[in-house]
Structure 1
């Protein structure tokens, strides 16, 4: 996932829509996506969200109203958003943005299933995690 495949589509324009909380991305292959910031935040590629291996993902909740403070370019292959909740450690490569845009419906379905499995609601506040929140509550 790190580098771009040769010939992979690259963004020709990226627009942040603050009101609708979406990132609009047009790619060089003609694909055009409106990616909800909530989806980007939930699927942030950072270790904080993805964990450090399969099954280590930290389920993100309460992100429906998340906004973007800024969007910084990373080289010419990625962007690093700073979200309104302070999360800024995710580096979104062009191919990852394309994946999020193209697979939105499936990703939302997966997210809904994960929420249900965890018994939490989409708008529940995140548990106040001290460190990585690997503690077990009985």
Structure 2
């Protein structure tokens, strides 16, 4: 079984609200919004298949603090108070590797739910 890559450098860019993960052979930049809506916490993922909670209105969310969890993960404290997700090295690498597909899936789920990324916008559906 292949060993999950571990970042050799991690940089939080507060102004652009991005997290940069540098690996030995590649580099990724993830938005705070993406990391927040794909939090590995039970609050977001639920406790089993079909229990996921769609996160809406997170376009302005930022990361206020990052803490190491042993030698295997990061804990991110988001500006909306969310801090219960533990981002293992494996999960972070999955977030990096599947960024485009997972982001499109999120956008599709938002659209299907009639929800938006901006907390200052309310969507009202009229008719069917």
TM over 0.5: yes
Deviations 1:37-63 (A, max 9, x none): 100000000000001111111110111
The answer for the alignment partner of 1:77 in structure 2 is 72
Partner SS, residue 58 of structure 2 = coil
Q: Are 1:121 and 2:116 counterparts? A: yes
The answer for the alignment partner of 1:129 in structure 2 is none
Distance 1:123 1:53 in 2: 28
Distance 1:6 1:105 in 2: 23
Deviations 1:71-125 (A, max 9, x none): 0000011000000000000000111111111211101110011112211112246
Q: 1:52-131 to 2 correspondence within 5 Å? A: 52-124=47-119
Distance 2:117 2:7 in 1: 30
The answer for the alignment partner of 2:46 in structure 1 is 51
**Coordinate RMSD, CA, aligned:** 1.3
Could you tell me which runs of 5 or more consecutive residues in structure 2 were left unpaired when the two chains were aligned: 121-128
Deviations 1:5-25 (A, max 9, x none): 663211100000001111000
The answer for the alignment partner of 1:133 in structure 2 is none
Identify which of 8, 14, 17 aligns with 1:18: 14
Distance 1:31 1:93 in 2: 18
Q: Are 1:27 and 2:23 counterparts? A: yes
Contact kept, 8 Å, 2:66 with 2:76, in 1: the verdict is: yes
Could you tell me which runs of 5 or more consecutive residues in structure 1 were left unpaired when the two chains were aligned: 126-138
Runs of 4 or more above 6 Å deviation: none
